């Protein structure tokens, strides 16, 4: 049984080896997403496994991994819920907001992506605005509306004209 192998792996891995333990948790999430008990409830089984794993490892990294796993497994509604939970739990993280923004763009929800940009700029600290907006503009340009991405990036350049790394 694969779940038993994962449980034995966690027992044998030293508590100080957080990277190896994290990999086992990600493997468990992948297992539940792809081979959970009922076909309709695989997303729910994955979320239950996530709740159990979250207490034992880095929550933000596991949230980001869960978002990727659910999206790749085709659980769109669960992925959207996980993105919402991620930005609620990690309001000050540009990576969390970028992951949710990217998911919205890949789902074709440009209005939702625009709303996330507005919410992120109000939630993120000012020092992270340029990082977030430049990455969001690039994502918009590549996967969403190119004109919107260009406008976002021009706004970043206008707001931070001395940042030569953006040019």
The answer to whether the beta carbons of residues 30 and 69 sit under 8 Å apart is yes
Q: What is the pLDDT along the chain (167 residues), one digit of tens a residue?
A: 888 999 999 999 998 999 999 999 999 999 988 887 665 556 677 888 888 888 888 889 999 999 999 999 888 888 999 999 999 999 999 999 999 999 999 999 989 999 999 999 999 999 999 999 999 999 999 987 899 999 999 999 998 888 877 77
Closest CA relative to residue 159, chosen from 119, 118, 131 = 131
Alpha-helical regions (H) of 74-128: 76-89, 94-106, 110-123
């Amino acid at each position: 049984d694969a779940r038993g192998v994962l449980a034995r792996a966690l027992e044998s891995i030293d508590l100080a080896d957080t990277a190896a333990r994290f990999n086992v948790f990600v493997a468990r999430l992948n297992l539940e997403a792809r081979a959970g008990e009922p076909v309709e409830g695989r997303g729910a089984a994955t979320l239950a496994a996530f709740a159990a794993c979250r207490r034992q490892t880095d929550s933000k990294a596991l949230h980001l991994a869960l978002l990727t796993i659910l999206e790749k497994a085709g659980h769109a509604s669960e992925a959207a819920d996980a993105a919402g939970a991620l930005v609620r739990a990690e309001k000050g993280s540009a990576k969390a907001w970028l992951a949710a923004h990217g998911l919205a763009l890949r789902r074709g929800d440009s209005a939702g992506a625009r709303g996330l940009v507005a919410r992120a700029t109000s939630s993120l600290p000012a020092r992270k605005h340029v990082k977030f907006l430049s990455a969001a503009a690039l994502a918009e340009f590549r996967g969403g509306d190119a004109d919107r991405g260009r406008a976002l990036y021009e706004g970043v350049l206008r707001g931070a004209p001395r940042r030569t790394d953006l040019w």
